[in-house]
Amino acid sequence: MLAVPAPCRPPANVADGRTRAAPPAPDLPPRPLRWLFLDLNSYFASVEQQLQPSLRGRPVIVAPVGSDTTVAIAASIEAKRFGIGTGTPVWEAKQKCRELVVTPARHDRYVEFHDRIVAEVWRHLPVTRVCSIDEVACRLLDNENDREGVVALAHRIKAGIRANVGDYLSCSIGIAPNRLLAKLASDLQKPDGLVVFEAAQLPQDLYALKLRDICGIGAKMERRLARDGVNDIRQYCERRPRDAGNAWGGVDGDRLWYLLHGIDLPDKPTQSRTIGHSHVLSPSKRGLEPARLTARRLALKAASRLRRKGYRARLLILHARFEDDKSAWRTSIKLPVTGDSFVVLQHLDALFPRLREAGRLRPGGFRLRMIGVTLAEIEPVGGDQGSLFAHLDPSDPLARETRGFALSQAMDRINERFGRNAVSVGPLNGGRLDRVGTKIAFGRIPEPGEFHE
């Protein structure tokens, strides 16, 4: 592992006071430096500090709503020094730091800066994958992956972001033979770090890390590995690939063994399975009726995204969290295969008696903290063809779905042209509804059209 500057964690292969680079594992192919992974530091908070110079150098958190009952969705580098991070309740963060500044989230600006950062990286090398709003991965070619050259390239990217996007934006970069290790390297030095894992030191340079440091290993997998006698990375890597795979379980269980040894494996194909939105309700909007209106708005947003992506759904899920319960409540209902907003709303209304009953006997009455709507079992529309019932009388039941879908598409076009809520279904006035804007979910960046929904 090469770190620039010195690595934040020492290599594990130390014996008799000397550090020895272990030879490559037998029968492994050459493993050149192949990936550069860039992770923006405290991204949302850094963008706010870039846009608001008065916040620079101060502890800042970004919150979804102006309420102490919500949680931080981002914390600045200065706030993290007080033990404040993503998910910290606002009231708790204020107790930890009296000088804390809370600023509302502006997701459209974060997407705007994201696009500018990706464009800047493209000036230096192609972006292979946008992994999330604050992470990108770039595959290195054979003429740009020598150690000195790629380290210099990383420094140019850092300087380019500061010069051309924002002087208060920093990133940590990891370089390694595969994307998993490059991401891991980017996490080891923050802020503004640069760490390189080279094949000659793999997997020995990983032994000082914890199993949970590896992307994909959570509490459940850690317990499973422990039951099989694997308590750290060394024990996992010293097994034969097949034995390590058996400990991991599942199809391709030995995949992680090869990745930790620096093999650059092709990505496994993935497919979108759900489309949904959730919203943390402000304290004055936590009763049943405000939650119902908010859920309808979320359902309309989800249905609009469904149509834009060319999908239809078979299942509608309503999920929520009550104030007095940390566990999630959920229920679902089957849909006819549809992308029609009106069909989705009709089935959503059928779910609310279940939610009402679930909250009826709770202490303190019906008090929801979060409400969400998800469209599941989605499938591509495929070739679109006209309906046999399109020319029937509009009042004919057989023509209802055709009319509803066409009207839903017309609403999409109007909102895209004239802005969010230019036309909608149901009430949006009278102060009864929380503002439900587009938000950035982990691993998914909103398309520009979503900010008009």
Token representation of residue 273: 């399975």
Token representation of residue 243: 């034995």
Q: What is the pLDDT of residue 35?
A: 96
Helix/strand/coil for 317: strand
Helix (H) or strand (E) holding 138: strand 135-139
For residues 59 and 99, the answer to whether their CB atoms sit within 8 Å is yes
Token representation of residue 27: 């029968």
For residues 134 and 444, the answer to whether their CB atoms sit within 8 Å is no
Helix/strand/coil for 130: strand
Distance CA 375, CA 369 (A): 21
pTM of the model: 0.67
Q: What is the pLDDT of residue 344?
A: 93
CATH code linked to domain 274-452: 3.30.1490.100
Q: What is the pLDDT of residue 15?
A: 34
Distance CA 76, CA 93 (A): 12
Residues pairing with 3 in the sheet: 195
Token representation of residue 205: 């340079």
**Comma-separated ranges of CATH 3.30.70.270 domains in the chain:** 1-209
The DSSP symbol for 118 reads H
**Comma-separated ranges of CATH 3.30.1490.100 domains in the chain:** 274-452
Helix/strand/coil for 114: helix
Q: Provide, for the chain, the percentages of residues in helix, strand and coil under a 3-state DSSP scheme, each rounded to the nearest 5.
A: 40, 20, 45
Distance CA 101, CA 98 (A): 9
Angle 262-259-217 (CA atoms, 0-180°, nearest 5)? Answer: 135
Distance CA 382, CA 343 (A): 20
Distance CA 71, CA 321 (A): 14
For residues 42 and 77, the answer to whether their CB atoms sit within 8 Å is yes
Residue with structure tokens 């050459």?
A: 30
Residue with structure tokens 């990745």?
A: 259
Judged on CB neighbours under 10 Å (0-12, 13-18, 19+), 48 is buried
CATH code linked to domain 1-209: 3.30.70.270
Judged on CB neighbours under 10 Å (0-12, 13-18, 19+), 372 is buried
Which residues are CB-contacts of 11 (< 8 A; sequence separation ≥ 6)?
A: 1, 19, 201, 204, 205, 207, 208
- Count of alpha carbons within 13 Å of 390, Cβ hemisphere only? 7
Q: Which residues of 405-418 are buried (b: 16+ CB within 10 A; e: fewer)?
A: beebbebbeebbee
Judged on CB neighbours under 10 Å (0-12, 13-18, 19+), 325 is middle
The DSSP symbol for 422 reads S
Distance CA 130, CA 444 (A): 9
- pLDDT tens for the 453 residues of the chain, in order: 655 544 444 343 333 333 344 444 457 888 999 999 999 999 999 999 999 999 999 999 999 877 787 889 999 999 999 999 998 999 999 999 999 999 999 988 999 999 999 999 999 999 999 999 999 999 998 888 899 999 999 999 999 999 999 999 999 999 999 999 999 999 999 999 999 999 999 999 999 999 999 988 989 999 999 999 999 999 999 998 888 888 888 767 789 999 999 999 988 765 658 899 888 888 888 889 999 999 999 999 999 888 888 888 999 999 999 887 767 899 999 999 888 888 999 999 999 999 999 888 777 778 888 999 999 988 888 655 455 545 555 555 555 555 566 666 666 666 666 666 666 676 654 444 455 555 555 455 555 555 444
Helix/strand/coil for 31: coil
Token representation of residue 196: 């390189």
Closest to 329 measured CA to CA, from 278, 290, 380: 278
Token representation of residue 234: 């060394």
